Amino acid sequence: MANETDTDRTAAKKGGGGQQLSKSLKPRHLSMIAIAGVIGAGLFVGSGAAIQQAGPGILVAYSAAGLLVILVMRMLGEMAAAHPETGSFSTYADKALGRWAGLSIGWLYAWFWIIVLGIEATAGAAIVHRWVPEVDQWVWALLLMVLLTGTNVASVKMFGEFEFWFASIKVAAIAVFLLLGVVAILGLMPGVAAPGLSNLTGNGGFFPSGSGAVLGGVLVVVFSFFGAEIATIAAGESENPVDAVKKAVKSTVWRILVFYIGSIAVVVTLLPWNSASVAKSPYVAVIELYGIPGAGTIMDIIVLTSVLSCLNSGLYTASRMLFSLSERGDAPPAWSKISVRGVPRAAVLSSTVVGFITVGLNYIAPDTVFLLLVNTSGAIALLVWLVIAVSQLILRRRMGTDAASRLSLKMWAFPYLTWLAIGAIVALLAGMAILERTRMELLMSLLLAGVVVGIGLWKYRGDRSAAHPVADASVSAEVKNDEAETLAPSGTAAVLK
């Protein structure tokens, strides 16, 4: 039978144990997971260094990076809405470029989030240790890892609930921050003089360090946006994955505009960009300007929430990618076994074990082994985005005009904006090679990517099965089965699992 039936798709999602991934994520979970993927601790902590580098012009850097992420998410959304997959872009790379590509980018992506576990667990432990110094910091890191491992192993609904509340706290905090910021900028806050445009145009102007610093700032801030794609992975465990993907992708625009660009605009409007307080912690500096007591503690709570959110979603994302790789024969078979509660526990625990190791290395050898591991993940975000863009370009071109017209979520101005995104990503990779502070990260990431790609090419040498045109079958998730019979060419169902 040429088309892929609902029964076939259901069977394809079963793990090695015969169980299925749980479909217990609600629309509210997916909405907050999408938001949480964008708002990370980097916004609250790392933005100070970016502002110091480019001044008020950092708003241009955030806007440029945000535009790139919006384009990437639109391309990913087109593919995910047409064919929701737990493996997301890794499975699309399978279809577009070959099995070696799906294996390579899937393992690189899982590795990125596993490394993040070590970074975030250490960051969270440092905050809690400041509150309770009697307990060693490594103990707190261990406890945080155990806590979030428990939520992920228990059920996907528990993961969703934790992420919902973590994201709610972050959203509420930024909403209050923005509201008070607008009040202060308008001169309506007692004790705070309206700054006007003095902080934007004074102290060297809007571009005090020149346009080059803004371009360098893009490299600093672009990685803050990585994580938006988690929603397309989690959508596979929702009740209505297609609608969930559409809503997540379409809301990316306003989330970036409001949460990132809006909050950074408040900072650089209310405070001089070159003040020491902005460099240390811009959000704490603004909260102190509002006259709110305990600004440092408030921000610690918000950052800790972001860290826990990142730990939670990072473990979830790494485990689901390992699960998908296992289903496709690119990881140990045990990782695709699913518990009676619909959780790939072996994949979760495997991710956790490596995460525990990275946490230990961060305490034992932070400046050698752990730094080396972190550097290997430095450019993976850009490599993932590049694969997404190239996959969308190839898969869309394999469709006929009629099939493309049936897509309910399309990339804008195809193929021009797709090529623009590809060019921008390549330019950022070139920028990492030029800048001395990012050159090592790029080289180590490319070295790791070279090894993984080599393994993929060796494993699938001579295998052309994944290079078959997917043509109109890419829209099989959005059309009725009787329509798919006429749309899908013979053999397509074997390509789309």
Look at 277 and 383; give whichever has higher pLDDT: 383
Alpha carbons 71 and 424: distance in angstroms, whole number: 11
Highest mean pLDDT among 109-113, 115-119, 167-171, 351-355: 109-113
CB 474, CB 497: distance < 8 Å:
no
458: tokens are: 């060796």
SS3 state at 25: strand
Could you identify the residue written with the tokens 């806007």? 63
Q: pLDDT band at 57, cuts 50/70/90?
A: very high
Alpha carbons 481 and 225: distance in angstroms, whole number: 37
Using omega within 30 degrees of 0 as the cis cutoff, is the peptide bond preceding 84 cis?
no
Name the nearest CA neighbour of 83 among 71, 72, 95. 95
The whole-number pLDDT of residue 449 equals 96
Looking at the chain, the whole-number percentage of residues with pLDDT higher than 90 is 38
Alpha carbons 36 and 495: distance in angstroms, whole number: 33
Query: pTM for this structure?
Result: 0.87
The whole-number pLDDT of residue 37 equals 66
The whole-number pLDDT of residue 447 equals 96
Task: Tell me the average pLDDT across 158-178.
Answer: 88
Alpha carbons 334 and 266: distance in angstroms, whole number: 49
Task: Tell me the average pLDDT across 432-458.
Answer: 93
Is the pLDDT at 483 greater than 50? The verdict is: no
394: tokens are: 């190839």
CB 19, CB 239: distance < 8 Å:
no
The whole-number pLDDT of residue 475 equals 44
Report helix angle 295-327 to 156-185, nearest 10: 140
Least confident range from 13-17, 162-166, 172-176, 229-233: namely 13-17
Task: Tell me the average pLDDT across 168-187.
Answer: 91
Q: pLDDT band at 459, cuts 50/70/90?
A: very high
The whole-number pLDDT of residue 419 equals 97
Alpha carbons 20 and 11: distance in angstroms, whole number: 8
Least confident range from 19-33, 110-124, 232-246: namely 19-33
Is the pLDDT at 418 greater than 90? The verdict is: yes
- Amino acid identity of residue 472, one-letter, is D
Alpha carbons 86 and 321: distance in angstroms, whole number: 7
pLDDT digits (tens, 9 = 90+) for 387-409: 999 999 999 999 878 888 888 88
CB 73, CB 252: distance < 8 Å:
yes
Least confident range from 45-54, 174-183, 234-243, 264-273: namely 234-243
Name the nearest CA neighbour of 319 among 339, 342, 338, 335. 335
Q: pLDDT band at 19, cuts 50/70/90?
A: low
The whole-number pLDDT of residue 413 equals 94
Alpha carbons 440 and 187: distance in angstroms, whole number: 46
Q: pLDDT band at 468, cuts 50/70/90?
A: very low
Q: pLDDT band at 491, cuts 50/70/90?
A: very low
Strand partners, 238: 25
Highest mean pLDDT among 58-67, 113-122, 243-252, 421-430: 421-430
Name the nearest CA neighbour of 80 among 331, 408, 359. 408
DSSP secondary structure letters along 222-253: GGGGTTTTHHHHHGGGBSSHHHHHHHHHHTHH
Mean pLDDT value across the chain = 83
Tell me how far the alpha carbon of residue 394 is from its chain's centroid: 23
DSSP secondary structure letters along 418-468: HHHHHHHHHHHHHHHHHSHHHHHHHHHHHHHHHHHHHHHHHHTTT--GGGS
The whole-number pLDDT of residue 231 equals 81
218: tokens are: 């893009």
Could you identify the residue written with the tokens 């921008």? 424
SS3 state at 126: helix
Alpha carbons 326 and 152: distance in angstroms, whole number: 18
Is the pLDDT at 214 greater than 70? The verdict is: yes
330: tokens are: 């690119």
Alpha carbons 342 and 329: distance in angstroms, whole number: 20
The whole-number pLDDT of residue 181 equals 93
The whole-number pLDDT of residue 18 equals 53
74: tokens are: 């639109």
Looking at the chain, the whole-number percentage of residues with pLDDT higher than 70 is 89
pLDDT digits (tens, 9 = 90+) for 315-345: 999 999 999 999 999 999 999 998 888 889 9
Alpha carbons 209 and 204: distance in angstroms, whole number: 8
